[in-house]
Chain A
Amino acid sequence: MLYREVGQFRTSYAADQAIFPIRQDRIGMLALLLVAYIAVPLVANEYWLSTIFVPFFVFSLAALGLNILTGYAGQLSLGTGGFMAVGAFTAYKLATAFPGLNIVLVFVAAGIVTALVGLLFGIPSLRIKGFYLAVATLAAQFFLIWLFVKVAWFQNYSASGVITAPPRAVFGHFFVTGPEARPAYKYWFTLTFAAVLALAAKNMVRGATGRKWMAIRDMDIAAEIIGIRPLSTKLLAFAVSSFYIGIAGALWAFIYTASVEALAFDIDRSFQILFMIIIGGLGSILGSFLGAAFIILLPIFLNNLPNQLGLHVGVALVTNLQDIIYGALIVFFLIAEPNGLAALWRIGKEKLRLWPFPH
């Protein structure tokens, strides 16, 4: 019905290799972007914009970063929280040391610094893989958090180790941090980062770079034999992944909470993002977004549900119920589709394309 492709002919290689070869997907994506950019800020209230959508985009970016490393290049990492902290603290140091620097540049620079740190901690991946690499990245996690807690310079010698995002505008009065920042501005700002970086990721993974990553992931020896250099490929994956995660960390600290301590990026954060890509789907851009939605939005939704239904239940009971239902849903979705929510969508789409005669 929706996916009737009759009459869609592709007459050039370019058309065949497009990101969305099917016209319905292109229209759907465009509609989604229009809704996200125009309809949502018009309709949604402040609570939705600043506490539902902003964290969702931030974690989508972080999940995207980890997905590049773990899902595409096959390098298991538990250092995500630490790398987010690098992004956040670099952005803070840059923003306070150079007040004139545009916030977009601050974030990009924070991403680049995180990429360099990621590169450094990616070096062990040349010798070890799998669980052993996970342990090595775990060291990065603990070391980085320890560093930001211990060295007061990173927090500008703040008494309590908390950094507060200074007010900054992208241009004119388009403030994205500080008291003048309007929720809609924050929303557009994070949405743009998420959209642009997702597009870049999509193009990377379907080009030569992504193919190299996937070759390494599927069998590193075979990849080496066909002429892929493990050194540069793996390190590139670490760098790109850390770039994304660093920007996500900076966005989290500046746009969402606006004040953050290093402990906000502890090991739990790393696991949270790892769960996102496992539930969303390893090796899938869409999966990063779906996983982030599941892990971040579902608990908030469950927590709000009794009140929206007009039930008066104690907060302790609601929180416990929320954990129970959330846990049960994780198990349910993993049994229903071990390859993640993105795989569910893929299967659904294939069936829709064959509709009304699915086999």
Chain B
Amino acid sequence: MKLRKLAVGLALTGAIGWATGGGPVFAQNEQFIPRLVYRTGPYAPDGIPFANGYADYLDMINARDGGVNGIKITYEECETGYNNDRGVECYERLKNHPPTGASLVDPLSTGITYALIGRATADKIPVVSMGYGRADASYGPVFRYVFTFPVTYWAGADAIIEYIGSQVGGMDKLKGKKIALVYLNAAYGKEPIPTLKALAARYGYIFTGYAVNSPGIDQQATWLQIHQANPDYVLMWGWGVMNSTAIKDAASVGYPMDHFIGIWWSGDNPDVEPAGMAAKGYKAAEFHGVGANYPVIQDILKYVYDKGHGHGTKSSVGGPLYDRGVINAIYDMAALRTAQKKFGDKPLTGEQVRWGLENLDLTDAQIKALGGEGLVTPIHLSCEDHEGNGNVRISQWDGKTWHMITGWIVPDRTFLREMYKESAMQYAKENNITPVNCAEVHASR
């Protein structure tokens, strides 16, 4: 009985201490990054390499340079399982972490991005949804705290259609062609549909969408339908086990792999390898370089893996998703450096990091200095434009590795920015947001 009382007492004091914000003491010269990751569940095959790449880069920066301009970067991972409510919980858990709270947050889930936009804006913490999330959040005057660089799904969809146009011999030849989209039935998968429909109206191709319910391990009916409809091209917005299942099922109905194009989240080795040689010829859009032959990746191997501190296995370094995790970290750190130039080399608040993101101008020369030439695309952001000018390339799987088969495809940004603005203004209206005047923002600098 006494023991039980003691246990209850201990549990209570623990809970109260936790509730009132007691915790270990932290050094003050640190910059904290919350890491929303998923290393378990149906999306883990894709979540793990990304999380490893990000964490390894931060470890490398801390080991090689002692942090960013002398500020050590700390991070804490929180498992979301690609689940929106757990994502919100993780964000709330980590956002007030000492010393200055979360500098920025990378949700790595379009659903979680949506859930965080309002919260993070109120908390003054920038949301960096690199190559995912809400496309219209590229319109900075409305979405002050959201960043979508270097490309959104709308831009990705536009680039893929341009590529298909070049394959069929000109955009005018798209008329009457059948283009299908296989998508994860969630916020992520539905994001490109408005663009694909708008482009269908412009170029006259026939668009059909095929929704696949999460987690996407049962797609045979979908692929039988696609087999019957026999579209000229199939696009895919898939994630996790859905990708490999789709490629296997596409192969089993005999759909030609070189007419099957995935978005960048559907183009990693775990997606194609389970299908074996049947996946040969499969294509994926990509907004960055891939591989391990870059100085920055070599530094990660040298400073992290050779010391035995790597988060994954050495052989997983250099995969598309691993590299994307590294690239995300490179962009985040570049924003931090930009902000440090204005606010000084000290731990910065989310509001200050937001300034750094909005004024991010990562040039080729800087990228070369960072060791990411060919891996990272240059980015120039502004108050109006939170997407920047990232481009898209198409890569192809040859059964062993990915090859870039096109040069950089430039999405039609004039058309896209009109769409972003229109959609963002609708959001602003629903949520009583007054868009800021960017001319004034620029003048005050």
* Residue positions of A touching B, CB distance < 8 A: 43-48, 50-51, 55, 96, 149, 156, 159-162, 164-167, 178-180, 256-261, 263-264, 300, 303-304, 307-308, 310, 314-316, 318-320
B121 & A314 in contact (Cβ 8 Å cutoff): no
Q: Which 7 A-B pairs have the closest CB atoms?
A: A179-B122, A316-B39, A160-B187, A315-B79, A51-B92, A319-B79, A315-B77
Question: Which chain A residues border B93 with CB–CB below 8 Å?
Answer: 47, 51, 304
A308 & B14 in contact (Cβ 8 Å cutoff): yes
Question: Which chain A residues border B81 with CB–CB below 8 Å?
Answer: 319
How far apart are B44's CB and chain A's nearest CB, in angstroms? 8
Question: Which chain B residues border A300 with CB–CB below 8 Å?
Answer: 89
Which size class do B's interface residues fall under? Answer: 35 or more
A308 & B431 in contact (Cβ 8 Å cutoff): no
- What sequence of 0s and 1s flags, for each residue 72-95 of chain B, a beta carbon within 8 Å of any chain A beta carbon? 000011110100110011001100
How far apart are B212's CB and chain A's nearest CB, in angstroms? 12
How far apart are B37's CB and chain A's nearest CB, in angstroms? 6
B432 & A318 in contact (Cβ 8 Å cutoff): no
Question: Which chain A residues border B134 with CB–CB below 8 Å?
Answer: 160
B185 & A149 in contact (Cβ 8 Å cutoff): yes
Q: How far is the CA of A44 from the CA of B84 in the complex (A)?
A: 24
Q: Across the two chains, which residue of chain A brings its CB closest to B192?
A: A159
B136 within 8 A of A: yes
B62 within 8 A of A: no
Q: A179-B121, A259-B118, A263-B186 are in contact. Are A55 and B39 (CB under 8 A)?
A: no
B190 & A318 in contact (Cβ 8 Å cutoff): no
Q: Across the two chains, which residue of chain B brings its CB closest to A44?
A: B19
Q: Across the two chains, which residue of chain A brings its CB closest to B16?
A: A43
Question: Which chain A residues border B432 with CB–CB below 8 Å?
Answer: 166-167, 178
Q: How far is the CA of A256 from the CA of B119 in the complex (A)?
A: 10
Q: How far is the CA of A44 from the CA of B77 in the complex (A)?
A: 23
How far apart are B56's CB and chain A's nearest CB, in angstroms? 14
Q: A159-B194, A320-B40 are in contact. Are A167 and B79 (CB under 8 A)?
A: no
Question: Which chain A residues border B114 with CB–CB below 8 Å?
Answer: 160, 162, 164, 259, 261
How far apart are B50's CB and chain A's nearest CB, in angstroms? 13
How far apart are A170's CB and chain B's nearest CB, in angstroms? 16
Q: A149-B185, A319-B40 are in contact. Are A263 and B85 (CB under 8 A)?
A: no
Q: Across the two chains, which residue of chain A brings its CB closest to B37?
A: A315
How far apart are B14's CB and chain A's nearest CB, in angstroms? 7
A160 & B190 in contact (Cβ 8 Å cutoff): yes
A304 & B18 in contact (Cβ 8 Å cutoff): yes
How far apart are B387's CB and chain A's nearest CB, in angstroms? 15
Q: How far is the CA of A264 from the CA of B77 in the complex (A)?
A: 23
B111 & A303 in contact (Cβ 8 Å cutoff): no
Question: Which chain A residues border B407 with CB–CB below 8 Å?
Answer: none
Q: How far is the CA of A316 from the CA of B39 in the complex (A)?
A: 5
Q: Contact partner of B88 among A165, A178, A256, CB < 8 A? A: A256
B19 & A258 in contact (Cβ 8 Å cutoff): no
How far apart are A248's CB and chain B's nearest CB, in angstroms? 14
B92 & A46 in contact (Cβ 8 Å cutoff): yes
B79 & A318 in contact (Cβ 8 Å cutoff): yes
**Chain B facing A: main interface SS:** helix
B92 & A261 in contact (Cβ 8 Å cutoff): no
A257 & B88 in contact (Cβ 8 Å cutoff): yes
- What sequence of 0s and 1s flags, for each residue 111-125 of chain B, a beta carbon within 8 Å of any chain A beta carbon? 100110111011000
B30 within 8 A of A: no
Question: Which chain B residues border A308 with CB–CB below 8 Å?
Answer: 14, 18, 23
Q: How far is the CA of A55 from the CA of B185 in the complex (A)?
A: 25
B24 within 8 A of A: yes
Q: A47-B96, A257-B84 are in contact. Are A164 and B430 (CB under 8 A)?
A: yes
Q: How far is the CA of A55 from the CA of B187 in the complex (A)?
A: 22
B427 within 8 A of A: yes
B437 within 8 A of A: no
Q: A257-B85, A258-B119, A319-B79 are in contact. Are A159 and B39 (CB under 8 A)?
A: no
How far apart are B286's CB and chain A's nearest CB, in angstroms? 22
How far apart are B425's CB and chain A's nearest CB, in angstroms? 14
Q: Across the two chains, which residue of chain B brings its CB closest to A40?
A: B19
B121 & A159 in contact (Cβ 8 Å cutoff): no
A51 & B89 in contact (Cβ 8 Å cutoff): yes
Q: Contact partner of B40 among A45, A156, A166, A316, CB < 8 A? A: A316
B191 & A160 in contact (Cβ 8 Å cutoff): yes
B20 within 8 A of A: yes
How far apart are B399's CB and chain A's nearest CB, in angstroms? 30
Chain A CB within 10 Å, residue with most, of B16, B24, B81, B122? B122
Question: Which chain A residues border B121 with CB–CB below 8 Å?
Answer: 179
B115 & A257 in contact (Cβ 8 Å cutoff): yes
Question: Which chain B residues border A50 with CB–CB below 8 Å?
Answer: 92
A166 & B430 in contact (Cβ 8 Å cutoff): yes
B118 & A164 in contact (Cβ 8 Å cutoff): yes
Q: A159-B136, A160-B110, A263-B185 are in contact. Are A167 and B431 (CB under 8 A)?
A: yes
Q: How far is the CA of A331 from the CA of B272 in the complex (A)?
A: 40
Chain B CB within 10 Å, residue with most, of A50, A179, A310, A314? A179
B92 & A96 in contact (Cβ 8 Å cutoff): no
Q: Across the two chains, which residue of chain B brings its CB closest to A183?
A: B92
Question: Which chain B residues border A316 with CB–CB below 8 Å?
Answer: 39-40, 44, 48, 79
29 contacts between A and B (CB under 8 A): A43-B16, A45-B20, A47-B93, A48-B19, A51-B92, A156-B430, A159-B423, A162-B111, A162-B114, A164-B117, A167-B431, A179-B118, A179-B119, A256-B88, A257-B85, A259-B115, A259-B117, A260-B84, A260-B115, A261-B186, A263-B186, A263-B214, A304-B18, A308-B18, A314-B39, A314-B77, A315-B39, A316-B39, A319-B39
B431 & A178 in contact (Cβ 8 Å cutoff): yes
B21 within 8 A of A: yes
- What sequence of 0s and 1s flags, for each residue 351-388 of chain B, a beta carbon within 8 Å of any chain A beta carbon? 00000000000000000000000000000000000000
Question: Which chain B residues border A303 with CB–CB below 8 Å?
Answer: 79
Question: Which chain A residues border B40 with CB–CB below 8 Å?
Answer: 316, 319-320
How far apart are A320's CB and chain B's nearest CB, in angstroms? 6
How far apart are A48's CB and chain B's nearest CB, in angstroms? 5
A162 & B118 in contact (Cβ 8 Å cutoff): no
Q: Across the two chains, which residue of chain A brings its CB closest to B211?
A: A149
A44 & B427 in contact (Cβ 8 Å cutoff): no
B135 within 8 A of A: yes
Q: Contact partner of A164 among B19, B44, B427, CB < 8 A? A: B427
Q: How far is the CA of A257 from the CA of B85 in the complex (A)?
A: 7
Q: How far is the CA of A87 from the CA of B427 in the complex (A)?
A: 22
Q: A45-B20, A46-B96 are in contact. Are A261 and B111 (CB under 8 A)?
A: yes
Question: Which chain A residues border B37 with CB–CB below 8 Å?
Answer: 315
Q: How far is the CA of A47 from the CA of B134 in the complex (A)?
A: 25
